[in-house]
Amino acid sequence: MFHANERQLVQQLLAILQTLPGVHANVAPREPTGAANVRGYAAEIDISIAGKSLTLLVETKKTVYPRDVQQALWRIKSQDNRSARPDIDIVPMLAAESLSPGAKDLLRSEQVGYFDSGGSLYLPAPGAYVYIDKPPPKAQASVMRSLFTGRRAQAIHTLLMQREHWFGVKELAERSQVSPATASEILSELEKFDWIASRGQGPNKQRHLRDPRALLDAWAAQVAASRPAILRRYFVPGTKAEALVDSAAQAFEARGVGYAISNEAAAQRYAPFLSSFGQVRCRVLVTPEANEALADLGARVVNEGANFAIMEVKSPGDLLLRERVGNAWLASPIHVYLDLLKGEGRAKEMAEHLRNERIGC
């Protein structure tokens, strides 16, 4: 049970406070005289900072999302936290094993302190301000990573690409080629972050992506922290990069191979940015037929000087929502954007241009 860990969380907070220069802190051994209803708080911590005396009323949670913050704010505002001593300011504070980025933003906007087990600390007080931002705790980082992998990523991809649409669980499952259980799970997870709006009840409940920018930012952050994609590098003689897009498309389609052009070659067709590019990268379902298509192209494996590269994908879901532009299938703008974030040279600049001009969130 989490209650068994409350003392440890409070002790972690106390230890962090005691390391700050010029700060003295200790857990108060008494009930605060004159304070109305503080039974909802796990601890009171008396601190002295910048010549000011403060009392932190600390509420503890396991995991905090924006919707949890809204409930906490209601409780804080409904309670009278005034002290019988006018020289001591009362500061409400939320301590948790993990706080989502949206929860932290909301707490800061409302001037409510917070602390998480990763070491992040925000303490607003009259005459004093403490803000320490640390990487999320391992448990939260693991949750975020799992959102953007495998079948879950397919559902998120669909929500981002069709962000104006209201989805029921069954429809999202069908459009994203995942099970209803996975669709339901991802909608519930995103709802915790306050990225999803809902309407209706029971089987008729529908959800809509209310904050696509925050969701795409979170996915981009996970991509930036991940290892670079493993590429199979080839050289195709006698073909410039722009013409190679159509040649590769023709070769793959003739062999019935699932593919989607990505990175600079695709971004250039969606939202021109570069005067030229030197390499074509392609998402491909690697099969014996794919190898035959590469042979048809005259592609040979190289370590340097590649003008064609394959990113092997595991399932048709990794080609989901690709778009036909001209004679070739391009990866969806979302996939192209994420692939560019792992690229070299001016790829990241091109990613932001694509996001602004074509994705729009």
The domains found in the chain, sorted by start residue, are 2-135 (3.40.1350), 148-225 (1.10.10.10), 231-359 (3.30.460.40)
How many C-alpha atoms does 212 have within 13 Å on its Cβ side? Answer: 18
43-49 and 231-235 as β-strands: parallel, antiparallel, unpaired?
unpaired
Amino acid at 325: V
Reported pTM: 0.76
pLDDT in tens, the chain (361 residues): 445 577 888 888 998 888 888 888 888 775 544 443 445 678 888 888 877 888 888 888 888 888 888 888 887 777 655 554 556 788 888 998 888 888 898 999 988 999 998 889 999 887 778 899 888 777 666 777 788 988 999 999 999 999 999 999 999 999 999 999 999 999 998 988 889 999 988 888 999 999 999 999 999 999 988 888 889 999 999 888 889 999 999 999 999 999 999 999 999 999 999 888 889 999 999 899 999 999 999 999 999 999 999 999 988 999 999 999 999 999 999 999 999 999 888 999 999 999 999 999 8
Helices (H), the chain: 6-19, 66-78, 101-109, 138-147, 150-161, 169-176, 180-192, 212-225, 241-254, 263-270, 288-297, 333-341, 347-354
For residues 262-272, b (16+ Cβ closer than 10 Å) or e, as one string? bbbbbbbbbbe
Amino acid, res. 132: I
Gyration radius of the chain's alpha carbons = 26
